[in-house]
Amino acid sequence: MKIAVECQSPLLQKSLEVFLTRYLSSVKHCDIVVRDIECLNDRRCFYIASNEKADLKKPFSKSQLILALENRYESMGHRTKELQETPKEETINFDILERRIELLTREYQHNIINAIKAFYEK
């Protein structure tokens, strides 16, 4: 999902750029253009404002923004990369977590045995 941000409000522009850092792209190459001005006849336009016509109403959180953009992206006929990669990432993270737990368990066991030996050697 590639997103461009074009806002008249400098504060909203910068906030959106910070929220969407990993998705930012140029207007030419983007899938969605986020704007704070209502745009007509542009399927890629995602309108953010305080009124009822907005795709996302202000105020909003980062998670609300990303969820709304993913929903728009999917409604355009795309499938989000995050959803496609989720099972693969969970497997990798789970394997890493499992190895880390095993390592910590061995260290803990070693420390307990050393403490018991030290206690009985006195």
pLDDT digits (tens, 9 = 90+) for 35-63: 998 888 778 899 999 988 888 998 888 88
State the residue for tokens 């993270």: 93
Beta bridge partners of 45: 33
> pTM surpassing 0.75?
no
67 vs 5, 56, 71, 94, 101, CA distance in Å? 16, 10, 6, 25, 32
Q: Domain boundaries in the chain?
A: 3-79, 81-122
Digit-coded pLDDT (tens) for 102-117: 888 988 899 899 999 9
Phi-psi map region of 91: left, alpha, beta (phi>0 left; psi -120 to 50 alpha): alpha
Please report where in the chains the tokens 């989000």 appear, as a residue: 80
Identify whether the C-beta of residue 1 lies closer than 8 Å to the C-beta of residue 73.
Answer: yes
